[in-house]
């Protein structure tokens, strides 16, 4: 299992709506993520900077790299685009974070 961490950026004033939408994540989207080999997926918010910090586990042989082409993922991105910084295709602007320490 590989841990994958990245950060994203929330637009001001959208903290509550972002949390609400994730509290009500579409069951089919959660299933799609699991089927791609993603588990233990958590997103944290730094309220001072509105930086979102995400960490997830990816199973060996995962298909997470294929998710950006999945129609349901693209629909979710469109749904979330008004709340956060996004690329022209509405995918979240992500910055991959290298692991520098881990204690099991």
Please give the average per-residue pLDDT across 11-35, as a whole number.
98
Joined tokens for residue 14: 């959208």
For residue 69, pLDDT beyond 90: yes
pLDDT given at position 67:
97
Catalytic site residue from 3, 19, 20, 22: 22
2-96: which CATH topology?
Alpha-Beta Plaits (3.30.70)
Q: Where are the chain's structural domains?
A: 2-96
Catalytic status, residue 22 = yes
* Collapsed DSSP state (helix, strand, coil) of residue 74: helix
pTM of structure: 0.93
- Given pLDDT bands bounded at 50, 70 and 90, which one contains residue 104? confident
Q: What is the dihedral of CA 43, 9, 29, 67, to 10 degrees?
A: -110
What is the tens place of the pLDDT at every residue in 31-43? Answer: 999 999 999 999 9
> What are the two backbone dihedrals, phi and then psi, of residue 64, each rounded to the nearest 5 degrees?
-60, -35
Contacts 24+ apart (CB under 8 A), 68-75: 70/32, 72/26, 72/28, 72/29, 72/32, 73/29, 73/32
């Amino acid at each position: 299992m590989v841990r994958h961490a990245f950060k994203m950026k929330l637009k001001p004033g959208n903290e509550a709506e972002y949390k609400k939408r994730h509290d009500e994540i579409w069951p089919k989207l959660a299933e799609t993520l699991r089927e791609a080999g993603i588990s233990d997926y958590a997103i944290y918010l730094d309220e001072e900077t509105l930086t979102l910090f995400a960490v997830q586990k990816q199973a060996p042989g995962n298909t997470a790299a294929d998710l950006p082409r999945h129609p349901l993922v693209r629909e979710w991105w469109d749904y979330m685009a008004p709340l956060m910084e996004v690329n022209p295709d509405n995918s979240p602007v992500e910055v991959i974070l290298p692991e520098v320490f881990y204690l099991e």
